[in-house]
Amino acid sequence: MRTAPAMGEPPLLSVRELRCGYGGKPVLQGVDLDVGAGEIVAVIGRNGVGKSTLIKALIGLLPADAGSIRFRGAEISAVAAHRRARLGIGYVPQGRDVFPRMSVEENLAVGEAIGGGRTADYERMYRSFPILWERRRQVAGTMSGGQQQQLAIGRALVGRPALMLLDEPSEGIQPSIVQDIARIGVELNRQDGLTIVLVEQNIDMIRAMAQRCYVMDKGRMVAELTPEMLDDRDTVRRYLAV
């Protein structure tokens, strides 16, 4: 198992004392997070603790009120979202948010434009998600939830990110597709070195993918676990049960 990055090796992503919220309502209350290049790191926590808020702050959809976000050593907390995408951060939103009236291909073209300036890799993406090739002319809104989730991931992948932010990819998706997505995520990590931050409440998916796991509560990281520790029901109840 891969552990935290070695001393001296700067993390790909390093977050310190990050604070952010909505219209004066604080949500993130000083988040610290390190993700080494080549890692898959999970973030778990109950509903409403701030997981999606963290992901949105990392990609730049929400401005940071305080604190630091470093990507490849450079401070990006004041960099616009589209620039962060071009620096190599891919984003798969909770609920997928594919463009429902556009075809699969058109959705992917938006992802390519967002990753702009980096050479798109459709071939690699279609190899991961052959269903998207088969359905490339289909209108996205008519596909199943699992297919739309694969499209949302594919849309982020064509921009060739170094870091992928995945916000609850298993939500509302049948278990067999969850397993497929987990397997493909691990493949992209092992074969292409894709680093992943995985927000999840699905323990099976975390166990299949993650090497480390942060627990979030009330806008802070309150524990760091190995995924094996999630096999213990008391641990899961303590950190996830309402």
The stretch among 1-9, 49-57, 76-84, 177-185 that binds ligand ATP (CB under 6 A) is 49-57
With CB under 5 to 8 Å by kind, the binding choice for 178 among Mg ion, ligand ATP, none is: none
Q: Is position 63 an interface residue for ligand ATP (rule: CB under 6 A)?
A: no
Q: Which residue type, as a one-letter code, is found at position 182? A: A
Q: Is position 202 an interface residue for Mg ion (rule: CB under 5 A)?
A: no
For residues 78 to 97, the per-residue mask of contacts with ligand ATP, x marking binding by CB under 6 A and - elsewhere, is ----------------x---
Between 56 and 160, CB nearer to ligand ATP: 56
Tokens of 120: 């798109």
Assign 65 to helix, strand or coil. Answer: coil
Shortest separation between residue 114's beta carbon and ligand ATP, angstroms: 21
Beta strand pairing status for 66-71 and 163-167?
unpaired
For residues 47 to 66, the per-residue mask of contacts with Mg ion, x marking binding by CB under 5 A and - elsewhere, is ----xx--------------
Q: Is position 14 an interface residue for Mg ion (rule: CB under 5 A)?
A: no
Shortest separation between residue 188's beta carbon and ligand ATP, angstroms: 23
Q: Is position 94 an interface residue for Mg ion (rule: CB under 5 A)?
A: yes
Between 125 and 206, CB nearer to ligand ATP: 206
Sheet of strand 89-92, all strands in order from the earlier edge strand to the far edge? 89-92, 163-167, 195-199, 40-44, 212-217, 220-225
Contacts of 163 (CB under 8 A, 6+ apart): 12, 13, 35, 71, 88, 89, 90, 194, 195, 196, 197
Q: Is position 22 an interface residue for ligand ATP (rule: CB under 6 A)?
A: yes
Q: Answer positive or negative: Cα dihedral of 164, 194, 44, 68.
A: negative
Between 43 and 98, CB nearer to Mg ion: 43
Give the H or E element holding residue 155.
helix 145-157
Mutual angle of helices 145-157 and 175-192, in 10-degree steps: 10
Q: Is position 150 an interface residue for ligand ATP (rule: CB under 6 A)?
A: no
Q: Is position 51 an interface residue for ligand ATP (rule: CB under 6 A)?
A: yes
Instruction: Name the site residues for Mg ion (rule: CB under 5 A).
Output: 51-52, 94
